[in-house]
Amino acid sequence: MRGKAYIAGAYEHPTRHATDRSLAQLHADVARGALEDAGLSLGDVDGYFCASDVPGWAAPGVGPFSMVEYLGIQPRHLDTTESWGSSYMHQVAQAARAIADGRCRVALITQAGRPRAERQRPQSSASAPAYSACEAPFETPYGAAVVNLYAMCAMRHQYEHGTTAEQLAWIKVAASHHAQHNPQAMLRNVVTVEDVLSSPLIAAPLRRLDCCVISDGGGALVLVHPAIARSLKRPLITPIGSGYAINHLNGGYFDLLTSGGAQSGADAFSEARLTPGDIDYASLYDSFTITVLIQLENLGFCAPGQGGAFVADGKLISGVGPLAVNTDGGGLCNNHPGHRGGMARLIEAVRQLRGEAHPAVQRPHCALALAHGTGGLLGSRHGSATLILERL
């Protein structure tokens, strides 16, 4: 993939509470922002990538077409791959391949949501869309919901490896140390391990501060053909490795602590011809603190069962440990728009590679970054996407 397409534009919406913006307006805002960042316009776009967060998705096929019309673009290539929070890492890889295949030259990827303004909560297995799934009659009676499935993973990790609540809390502490430097972050106050452990219990062993924020907003990326990239005089950031994997319950024969990231990460590192030790910065999906811990192990940054020691004592804080993670504050403190944190993770990876992160958290000489997303639920069925980016 190296050098076949470049990320020329990136933009994160500044709002976290979109009471004055419709969903379509949020998509248009981030589209314009990313294109302006690249030095391009909507008229240059000939490839559009989105997921089911675009308005009108309930009418099959209509949502993406409506969004294309709303933006006023005429794409030659359209991709509506849906993988929830991991959609956007996967779409960057798809866009790079579409550009390499000659299907388009300027690819726009948008994501937006306004659950905070609409007072939405994450779906549980009892919600209408989930209840129509084939497994729903067998699982719904047991009350599976987002938070208690992740809590089950955390409890299993504690049981198998002796991981402590204090170690999990350090992931939130690191996020808060980064968020204090981000004026747009929802939660900017630095917290301590004691603050996390004293916050209300939500689903044992996870407490309120182990959980991500619920926010509005969104973001967008623009990928371009190499010839266009060289004319724009923007930093040359290219995907060099990607992987995607689906993990499910396999009729009951599965490991709670092995996510799809074990396969998607291995594939991405193989394609990039790199190892986890080569990575300067990592953007990891952080719907809960346990999400980060499991991803660190599954992606190979530490051995299985060693995640607790790997994150303890501030080792994920930029400038403290060997690996900086989520230097914008992540979903735990900054932004998790539409219950989908993948795009925000990608944007911060681009900032780090450009040298545009806040000086207090910028990794020196950052040349290789990894972004990883989980779409669906750990402890249940989900998709995992891993993307490795390089600044040339």
- The closest of 308, 313, 282 to 293, measured between CA atoms, is 308
Beta-carbon contacts of residue 317 (< 8 Å; ≥ 6 apart): 174, 177, 178, 324
* DSSP track, 40-103: --GGG--EEE--TTSTTTTSTTHHHHHHHHHHT---SEEE----GGGHHHHHHHHHHHHHHTTS
Q: Which amino acid is at 278?
A: D
Residue type, 206: L
Number of CB atoms found within 10 A of residue 311's CB: 28
Q: Among 66, 42, 43, which residue's Cα sits nearest to residue 53?
A: 66
State how far the Cα of 243 lies from the Cα of 89, in Å rounded to an integer.
Answer: 9
CATH topology of domain 6-121+216-236: Peroxisomal Thiolase; Chain A, domain 1 (3.40.47)
pTM, full prediction? 0.96
pLDDT at 128: 45
What Cα–Cα distance (Å) separates residue 312 from each residue in 72, 206, 279, 322, 369? 49, 17, 20, 12, 22
CA distances from 204 to 67, 145, 152 (A): 41, 13, 8
Report the C-alpha gap between 80 and 58 in whole angstroms: 13
**C-alpha span between 318 and 166 (Å, rounded):** 20
- Report the distance separating Cα 104 and Cα 78, nearest Å: 9
Domain boundaries 144-214+239-391, corresponding CATH code: 3.40.47.10
Predicted pLDDT of residue 120: 82
List, by residue range, all CATH 3.40.47.10 domains of the chain: 6-121+216-236, 144-214+239-391
The predicted structure's pLDDT at residue 239: 98
pLDDT 10s digit of each residue in the chain, 392 long? 899 999 999 999 999 999 999 999 999 999 999 999 999 999 999 999 999 999 987 655 578 999 999 999 999 999 999 999 999 999 999 999 999 999 999 999 999 999 999 988 765 444 445 557 888 888 888 888 899 999 999 999 999 999 999 999 999 999 999 999 999 999 999 999 999 999 999 999 999 999 999 999 999 999 999 999 999 989 999 999 999 999 999 988 999 999 999 999 999 999 999 999 999 999 999 999 999 999 999 999 999 999 999 999 999 999 999 999 999 999 999 999 999 999 999 999 999 999 999 999 999 999 999 999 999 999 999 999 999 999 99
Q: Are 284 and 255 in contact (CB under 8 A)?
A: no
Q: How many CB atoms lie within 10 A of CB 224?
A: 27
pLDDT at 359: 98
Query: What integer pLDDT is reported at residue 131 of this predicted model?
Result: 53
Tokens of 378: 């750990």
Separation between Cα atoms, residue 71 and residue 42, nearest integer Å? 8
pLDDT for residue 125: 43
